[in-house]
């Protein structure tokens, strides 16, 4: 089973992906993690990624699809793959669909974590405050201004995917503001 987790920054995609990794033996494909891993891998693709990132340029869709292809070819996901942070645009969604078709695989579900933006901002700012109160440090981007910028980018680039996957009959929505276990249970219901 291959799935995409969709939702704005801070909606809990990473947390829920980890729960699926633990409970269903799925492999989480986080583009950020894959790029960092590739940069230090020494492979041809890794050298390309390193050169682009060292110049401070954005990694192209072709490179990201290449990294995803490598992960899919490597296999090992008896429970399937979770696409986390990809696709972000309609062009990337088309490229992922083409890649899966070419490899004889399918995209089984797209799970949207629905959230209320105001509650989401409160949640993330609360998370930052808790981290500081506990003697730690908050994530650098867990502040109101940065969060609003990230949300704007999400709505401009990524939210069109909701309509795209809805039209394909693949979109399932869950309440992303439920408890962590409540969201996990809702996702499990969708995938069953």
Residue 55 appears among annotated catalytic residues: no
Residue 55 has pLDDT above 80, yes or no: yes
pLDDT of residue 114: 93
Cα 8 to Cα 85, 124, 178, distances in angstroms: 10, 12, 15
Residue 69 appears among annotated catalytic residues: no
Contact residues for 105 (Cβ-Cβ < 8 A; gap 6+): 2, 72
Strand order in the sheet with 81-84: 27-30, 81-84, 3-6, 109-114, 171-175
Q: Which two tokens stand for residue 59?
A: 């990694």
The torsion angles phi and psi of 110, rounded to 5 degrees, stand at -120, 115
Instruction: Tell me if 35 sits within 8 A of 66, measured CB to CB.
Output: no
Read off the pLDDT of residues 56-89 as tens digits, 9 standing for 90 and up.
Answer: 787 889 989 988 998 898 877 678 999 987 898 9
Read off the pLDDT of residues 149-161 as tens digits, 9 standing for 90 and up.
Answer: 888 888 888 889 9
Residue 24 appears among annotated catalytic residues: no
Round to whole Å and give the CA distance between 67 and 18. 20
User: Which is catalytic among the residues 69, 71, 123, 127?
Assistant: 127
Residue 92 has pLDDT above 90, yes or no: yes
pLDDT of residue 127: 79
Read off the pLDDT of residues 28-38 as tens digits, 9 standing for 90 and up.
Answer: 998 888 888 88
Instruction: Tell me if 71 sits within 8 A of 139, measured CB to CB.
Output: no
Round to whole Å and give the CA distance between 92 and 65. 8
User: Which is catalytic among the residues 139, 148, 156, 168?
Assistant: 139
The torsion angles phi and psi of 102, rounded to 5 degrees, stand at -60, -35
Instruction: Tell me if 83 sits within 8 A of 110, measured CB to CB.
Output: no
Residue 123 appears among annotated catalytic residues: no
- Split at pLDDT 50, 70, 90, the class of 27 is very high
């Amino acid at each position: 089973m291959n799935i995409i987790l969709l939702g704005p920054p801070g909606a809990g995609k990473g947390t829920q992906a980890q729960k699926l990794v633990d409970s269903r033996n799925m492999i989480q494909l986080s583009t950020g993690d894959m790029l960092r891993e590739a940069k230090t891998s020494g492979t041809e693709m890794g050298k390309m990624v390193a050169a682009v990132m060292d110049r401070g340029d954005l990694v192209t869709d072709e490179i990201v699809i290449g990294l995803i292809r490598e992960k899919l070819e490597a296999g090992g996901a008896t429970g399937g793959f979770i696409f986390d942070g990809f696709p972000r645009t309609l062009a990337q969604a088309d490229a992922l669909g083409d890649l899966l078709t070419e490899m004889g695989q399918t995209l089984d579900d797209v799970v949207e974590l629905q959230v209320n933006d105001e509650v989401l901002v409160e949640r993330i700012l609360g998370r930052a405050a808790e981290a500081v109160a506990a003697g730690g440090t908050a994530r650098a981007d867990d502040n109101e201004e940065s969060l609003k910028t990230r949300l704007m980018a999400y709505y401009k680039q990524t939210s069109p995917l909701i309509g795209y996957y809805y039209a394909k009959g693949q979109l399932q929505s869950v309440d992303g503001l439920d408890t962590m276990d409540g969201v996990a249970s809702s996702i499990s219901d969708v995938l069953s």
